[in-house]
A and B are shown apart, each in its own frame.
Chain A
Amino acid sequence: MSLDLWIEVILKCVVVFFIVLTIVAYLVLVERKVLAAMQSRVGPNRVGPQGLLQPAADAVKLMTKETVVPEEADRNLFLMAPVVSLVPALLAYSVIPLGSHINLFGREIQLHVTDINVALLFILAMSSIGVYGIFLGGWSSNNKYALMGGIRSSAQMISYELSMGMSVIGVIMLAGSFSLVDIVNAQSSIPFVVYQPVGFVLFWIAAMAEINRTPFDLPEAEPELVAGYHTEYSGMRFAMYFLGEYANLVTVCTIGALLFLGGWHVPWPAPTWMSPLWLALKVAALIFFAIWTRGTLPRFRFDQLMAFGWKVLLPVALLNIFVTALVMVLVD
């Protein structure tokens, strides 16, 4: 590889890293503000104009706080678990394209760090590793609430990961590729949500369960488990869980937009340098929907959640694959 390509890749890594962390930090503020608006409150408005510096204040607070390790906790695992949760969440962005391409300094720059041919599998694999962080954190805390949160989380994520994987198979069959760039380019005229409405709904439900969002936020259900798996965490270790969780929200919303909503393609002609904007708008719409859901719905009970995952989502996902295959064979 030539030197300028190296520079390009490293720069892209740095830029993507900062973009993601900034988005995640501000997503916390956005969620609090949107929820506040839905609940006739004001939301954070003390730090900076309209509370815009709140993420900075949170960061300073969390970084300066002590990481308390409980007595009798498994110290090494306890300190490692949040890292295991955050790093895979960020790694997923290495294969997520943020747009098509832009021309800068006379070069055509692709708006993704790398485009591997099994990108989607890579993302699913990364999200599976994230479960270890949550379960190990809950297990090593030496706290019954944390342990229960960890157990709930691993059971929930394993069962919903299956449905999530099954729900995107329809898209893969239509696009004929695991590469996210190929999948997006296959939707240049019609987004896959038109062909795969059931797949989209299944994906969305499974994704919300996968990242522990309401109504599936059982691992950290405050009224039952205090704070779930991160009950004993404080300071930066807690912040890692927190960032990982919101990074996952952005990830699944981006994947949803890329797989089903046509990515950066819009029905009208638009210059390619605007492609990140279209994608961002679609992702923002999905994130808003997730926040809206949180403001509306109560929480499932653990056994109801498992029953829903195994008895409803999985069979429907399998049926969806079957029908997709059948239609593809008949049409061709």
Chain B
Amino acid sequence: MTEVRTMLEPVPSEPGLRTKTYTLNMGPQHPSTHGVLRLLLELDGEEIIKCIPDMGYLHRAMEKLAENKTFHQFTPYTDRLDYLSPFHNNTTYMLTVEKLIGIEAPKRAQYIRTVGCELARISSHLLGLGTWALDVGAMTVFFLTFREREVIYNLFEMLTGARMMTSFARVGGVAADIDSKIETAIRNFLAYMPDKIDDYEDLLTHNRIWLGRTKGIGIFSAEQATALSLTGPNLRASGVNWDLRVQTPYMAYEDFDFDVPLGETGDIYDRYTVRIEEMRQSLRIIRQALDGMPEGPYQIDDPKITLPKKEDTYGSMEELIHHFKIVCEGVAAPPGEVYFAAENPKGELGFYIVGDGTSHAYRLHIRSPSFISIGALPTIVEGRMLSDVVAALGSVDIVLGECDR
């Protein structure tokens, strides 16, 4: 790289002959910026001198909207944060609301949530891997991962009624119970998926060109990754053992036995291997959750929080009033403030909610992992080639819906 630099630097002995850098405006409409990211690149030939990510093209004022919506009404908005893992966003958000109210969903609901969250993790990693491989030029991986994502979407459709925007979490539980038909379908998926992950590995893991494009490039050292507040697979690829599912167990993760894959060098290749291995671990978790699915209710039994059965509202005055109050006013939360973060596919997704005693948030802040990751991008691309930008961008796995909020 240094040779290229010295070659391109101005030659002082010859007056009138000089080189200069130029600005390339990559995005917001560009095939590999994963949505509407704009990267301002200062280039010297093909070498990146400076990279400035410019965000906000997908800003929808979500945090402000949350102040005018009841807790339940805000659930569909969380779908549209990281729209590649909506189920996990719903769940993380509801866990925060439950923490504010001071309740905990029943065990069965937590298991159902776990199954959905891990499916969402696989789905998100599949898309991240597919588009990333496409950016590096391996187009087949993209179509293969999308084939498997269709299977996961079918499962979500059976479980939640929606393929993508699930909005499945409720205060104190989930919207519906899981039945044997869905369980069979998920078990079929568990049997089907490992071979497919091997297929992606066959195409990429030992591919000389893929190795050349990923090994030793875009390195975050463990200190850098921590200092940049990276989380999730991006942090673990640098060898930092930090997984909220293990460090601060929530839902039912304590009950399951799974490994947290770690990288060694923190380069692009390590982020790839970590994600591949996380998919395998997710399959393990789903299998354990299905095997150990406890009997019992899927919502807590509290008329102030969960809707009564529809038929009860026809004959019972109290049930009718509760139904009316929950539908019209929403579930009230006590005054106070709470922060909760969960291990989303992209990293630590956190919600900070200030409650004022009503059924909507006084203030809601979203700590989105993609926002942090995109901020870390210039660290690894400056001084590299233009082609490394797309490989690095794919490797930090961002989604702009969550970035801009």
Contact yes or no, A299 B209, CB < 8 A? yes
A298 near B137: Cβ-Cβ < 8 Å:
yes
A282-301 contacts to B (CB < 8 Å): 294-301
B139 touches A224 (CB 8 A): no
Cβ–Cβ contact B385 & A301, under 8 A: yes
A301-B22 in contact (CB<8A)? no
Does B31 make an interface contact (CB < 8 A)? yes
Beta-carbon contacts under 8 Å, A201-225 to B = 214-215, 217-218, 221-224
Does B187 touch A at the CB level, under 8 Å? no
Query: Is residue B101 contacting chain A, with contact meaning CB distance below 8 A?
Result: no
B153-185 vs A, Cβ < 8 Å mask (1 yes, 0 no): 000000000000000000000000000000000
Give, as a whole number of angstroms, the nearest-CB distance from A148 to chain B: 7
| Known A-B contacts A221-B137, A223-B31; A301 and B144 likewise in contact (beta carbons under 8 Å) | no
Complex CA–CA separation, A304 to B212 (angstroms): 8
Within A261-311, the residues touching B (CB, 8 Å) are 294-304
- A residues in contact with B147, CB < 8 Å: 40
Interface residues in A15-45 by Cβ distance below 8 A to B read 35, 38-41
Taken together as a complex, chains A and B put the C-alpha atoms of A39 and B199 apart, in Å, by: 12
Give the shortest distance, in Å, between B193 (CB) and chain A (any CB).
15
Does A75 make an interface contact (CB < 8 A)?
A: no
Instruction: Evaluate contact between A223 and B32: CB separation under 8 angstroms.
Output: yes
Of B51-59, B128-136, B224-232, B341-349, the segment with at least 4 beta carbons within 8 Å of chain A is B128-136
State whether the Cβ of B109 lies closer than 8 Å to any Cβ in chain A: no
**A173 interfacial by beta-carbon distance below 8 Å:** no
Q: Which residues of the other chain, B, contact A222 by a CB distance below 8 angstroms?
A: 31-32
Question: Of all chain B residues, which has the CB nearest A225?
Answer: B386
Give the nearest-CB partner of B147 in chain A: A40
A144 in the interface (beta carbon within 8 A) = yes
Distance in Å: Cβ of B208 to nearest Cβ of chain A: 9
Chain A residue contacts of B30, Cβ below 8 A:
226
> How long is the Cα–Cα vector from A151 to B123 in the complex, in angstroms?
39
Would you call A300 and B140 a contact (CB within 8 A)? Answer: no
CA distance A296 to B210 in the complex (A): 11
Q: Is A214 in contact with B385, judged by CB distance below 8 angstroms?
A: no
Say if the beta carbon of B81 comes within 8 Å of chain A.
no
What residues on A are CB-neighbors of B134 within 8 Å? 223
Q: Which listed residue, A39, A41, A224, touches B387 by the CB 8 Å rule?
A: A224
Question: B12-49 interface mask toward A, CB cutoff 8 Å, 1 = contact, 0 = none?
Answer: 00000000001010000011100000000000001000
State whether A299 touches B144 (Cβ < 8 A).
Answer: no
**Shortest Cβ distance from A36 into B: residue:** B143
Q: Whole-angstrom distance from the CB of B5 to the nearest CB of chain A?
A: 12
**Residue of A whose beta carbon sits closest to that of B132:** A223
How extensive is the interface on chain B, given as a class?
A: 20 to 34
A298 touches B207 (CB 8 A): yes
Knowing A40-B147, A226-B31 are in contact, say whether A297-B209 is a contact too (CB < 8 A).
yes
CB neighbours (8 Å) of B24 from chain A are 144-145
Bound Cα distance A177, B204 (Å): 43
Most buried by B among A217, A222, A223: A223
Tell whether B365 is near chain A: CB-to-CB under 8 Å. no
Contacts of B367 in A (CB 8 A): none
Partner of A298, one of B46, B136, B143, B389: B136
The reply to whether B390 and A223 contact each other, CB–CB distance below 8 Å, is: yes
Closest to A304 in B: B212
Contact with A301, one of B4, B135, B387 (Cβ below 8 angstroms):
B387
How distant is B100 from chain A, measured CB to nearest CB, in Å? 43
Residue of B nearest to A40 (CB): B147
Interface hits, B193-228 → A, CB 8 Å: 203-204, 207, 209-210, 212-213
In the bound complex, CA of A226 to CA of B33 (Å)? 11
Known: A148-B46, A222-B31, A223-B32. A299 touches B136 (CB 8 A): yes
Closest to A215 in B: B209
Is the pair B137, A217 in contact by a Cβ cutoff of 8 Å?
yes
Q: Is the CB of A41 within 8 A of B143?
A: yes
Given contacts A148-B46, A221-B137, A297-B137, contact A302 B31 (CB under 8 A): no
Contacts of B210 in A (CB 8 A): 298
Residues of chain A within 8 A of B142, CB atoms compared: 39
Instruction: Report A-chain residues with C-beta under 8 Å of the C-beta of B244.
Output: none
Docked CA distance A144–B139 (Å): 25
* Interface contact A296-B140, CB-CB below 8 Å: yes
Distance between A150 CB and nearest chain B CB, rounded to angstroms? 13
The reply to whether B207 and A302 form a contact with Cβ atoms under 8 Å apart is no
Q: List 9 A-B contacts (CB under 8 A).
A: A39-B140, A39-B142, A145-B24, A224-B386, A301-B212, A301-B213, A301-B388, A302-B46, A302-B385
Lowest 10 A-B CB distances belong to which pairs? A299-B137, A223-B32, A39-B143, A223-B135, A298-B137, A298-B138, A301-B387, A298-B136, A223-B390, A298-B209
Q: Interface of A with B (CB < 8 Å)?
A: 35, 38-41, 144-145, 148, 214-215, 217-218, 221-224, 226, 294-304
Given contacts A144-B24, A296-B203, 8 further A-B contacts (CB under 8 A): A215-B209, A223-B31, A223-B136, A297-B138, A298-B209, A298-B213, A302-B46, A303-B46
